[in-house]
């Protein structure tokens, strides 16, 4: 099947052609014709599957007819994070270059003035994070009664971040006759409820998780003592034949400290985490995209959905607590048909988190390197309790200005997570031993 078979306009086909995509991805094949017919849709797909184009392309054609009116956007796309909102707007620019559509981005962390000005002129597409949208709505700067098309993207992430009540409120302010598209990597019960309440006889489209289906990502797990993680990371960055890497950590403080420590060791490093201003995050991300730096230390929230082609390595400095974060993280590499390597550093305390990830992905992550006999107990390892970022609502309301050093102000504690924090039992047999020496042994080992 080609893009031309999907019923898209000639202008769009030209823009798609310019992007160099040979054929539509499965989510695009399944979703685009239905969306063009005006149907509601539930798309169970995650980043990396081409899902953004699956809704942006038909939207451009649908919105090609009709005109915008002041303060009344014709369509609304809700995104959980500023970065994702930004990327969706870039997609509109890319695919909409032969169409004349107006667009506004409503995200926290940037000046509201320009956003309001754009809205007042009238826009065809409004891309927003729920917090900022509710804020402007409350000030009477925006009317949603002309909004005929709603996209709720990354719905399960919205749930994690506490945005569902906002989304319900937003949905209730839109015309009932609208078209609604909901995308989510998973469908936990609250999202099913949301869909049942606000979608009308939706078509359901499900595509394989890219990480489980993506044979282009070579995964490895390195079992290491907590106090040796930085050495292990440095070794990976020095010895692996890597072009560039995104290094993930569970905590904002670790992101900051790690970026500083790697810089001190002579690496070309940037960071992206939830305490940074939006403009700083974008600047760091751009430096990484332009190869001005080749290591980006990141937290999950800040890095959610980041799309950079040709990331050769993802390193999980910490094992993520949420198994689906693992899939999102490693999905930053092996994109667009390229190969990538994902290395996870795990301590003994991570045994259960690793097990939950393996259950989700359906296979064991190949262990890398030789496992030394049991080393000293890792009392000196960092605490296993997650001081997570952003399982809390409205993460984008961070004030601008100087950031205090970590020691001056403790990180805010996260909201309790939905699922119980597992006991720290050593359930995974081979995590009973941990690697405690120099790394080269595992570097040559292929983990197929």
Give me the residues that bind ligand AMP (CB under 6 A), please.
Answer: 21, 24-25, 28, 47-53, 307, 335-336
Q: For 65-141, where are the E strands, in sequence order?
A: 75-78, 103-106, 125-128
| φ, ψ dihedrals at 269, nearest 5° | -125, 145
Alpha-carbon gap, residue 361 to 184, rounded angstroms: 17
How far apart are CB 19 and ligand AMP at their closest, in Å? Answer: 7
How far apart are CB 352 and ligand AMP at their closest, in Å? Answer: 30
How far apart are CB 24 and ligand AMP at their closest, in Å? Answer: 5
- Tell which phi-psi region holds residue 291, choosing left (phi > 0), alpha (psi between -120 and 50) or beta: left
Strand partners, 218: 341
Between 53 and 101, CB nearer to ligand AMP = 53
Between 53 and 269, CB nearer to ligand AMP = 53
Instruction: Give the DSSP H or E segment for 295.
Output: strand 295-299
Alpha-carbon gap, residue 345 to 365, rounded angstroms: 11
CA 420 vs. chain centroid, Å, equals 23
Between 45 and 174, CB nearer to ligand AMP = 45
DSSP string, 36-56: HTT--EEEE--TTSSHHHHHH
Instruction: Give the DSSP H or E segment for 329.
Output: helix 323-330
Between 92 and 321, CB nearer to ligand AMP = 92
How far apart are CB 43 and ligand AMP at their closest, in Å? Answer: 10
CB-based closest residue to ligand AMP: 52
How far apart are CB 31 and ligand AMP at their closest, in Å? Answer: 12
Between 230 and 289, CB nearer to ligand AMP = 289
CA 156 vs. chain centroid, Å, equals 11
Between 51 and 329, CB nearer to ligand AMP = 51
How far apart are CB 214 and ligand AMP at their closest, in Å? Answer: 12
């Amino acid at each position: 099947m080609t893009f031309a078979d999907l019923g898209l306009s000639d202008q769009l086909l030209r823009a798609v052609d310019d992007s160099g995509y040979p054929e539509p991805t499965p989510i695009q094949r399944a979703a685009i014709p239905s969306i063009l017919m005006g149907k509601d849709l539930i798309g169970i797909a995650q980043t990396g599957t081409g899902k953004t184009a699956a809704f942006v392309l038909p939207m451009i054609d649908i919105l090609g007819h009709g005109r915008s009116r002041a303060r009344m956007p014709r369509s609304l796309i809700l995104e959980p994070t500023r970065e994702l909102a930004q990327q969706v707007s870039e997609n509109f620019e890319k695919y909409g270059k032969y169409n004349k559509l107006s667009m506004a981005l409503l995200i926290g962390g940037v000046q509201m003035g320009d956003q309001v000005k754009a809205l007042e002129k009238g826009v065809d597409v409004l891309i927003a994070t729920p917090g900022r949208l509710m804020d402007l709505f409350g000030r009477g700067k925006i009317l949603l009664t002309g909004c005929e098309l709603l996209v709720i993207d990354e719905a399960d992430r919205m749930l994690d971040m506490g945005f569902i009540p906002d989304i319900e409120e937003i949905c209730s302010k839109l015309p009932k006759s609208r078209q609604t598209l909901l995308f989510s990597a998973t469908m936990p019960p609250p999202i099913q409820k949301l869909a049942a309440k606000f979608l009308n006889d939706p078509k359901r489209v499900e595509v394989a998780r890219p990480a489980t289906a993506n044979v282009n990502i070579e995964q490895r797990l390195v079992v290491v003592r907590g106090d040796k993680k930085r050495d292990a990371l440095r070794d990976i960055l020095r010895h692996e034949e890597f072009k560039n890497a995104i290094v993930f950590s569970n905590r904002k403080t670790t992101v900051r400290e790690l970026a500083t420590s790697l810089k001190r060791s002579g690496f070309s490093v940037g960071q992206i985490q939830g305490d940074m201003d939006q403009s700083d995050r974008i600047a760091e991300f751009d430096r990484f995209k332009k190869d001005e730096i080749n290591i980006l230390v990141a937290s999950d929230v800040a890095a959610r959905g980041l799309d950079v082609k040709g990331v050769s390595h993802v390193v999980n400095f910490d094992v993520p607590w949420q198994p689906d974060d693992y899939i999102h993280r490693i999905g930053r590499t092996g994109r667009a048909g390229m190969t990538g390597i994902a290395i996870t550093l795990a301590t003994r305390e991570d045994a259960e988190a690793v097990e939950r990830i393996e259950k989700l992905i359906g296979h064991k992550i190949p262990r890398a390197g030789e496992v030394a006999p049991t080393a000293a107990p890792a009392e000196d390892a960092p605490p296993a309790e997650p001081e997570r970022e952003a399982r809390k609502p409205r993460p984008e309301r961070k004030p601008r200005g100087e950031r205090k050093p970590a020691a001056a102000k403790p990180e805010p504690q996260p909201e309790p997570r939905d699922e119980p924090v597992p006991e720290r039992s050593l359930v995974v047999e081979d995590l009973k031993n941990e690697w405690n020496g120099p790394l080269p042994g595992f570097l040559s080992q292929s983990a197929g």
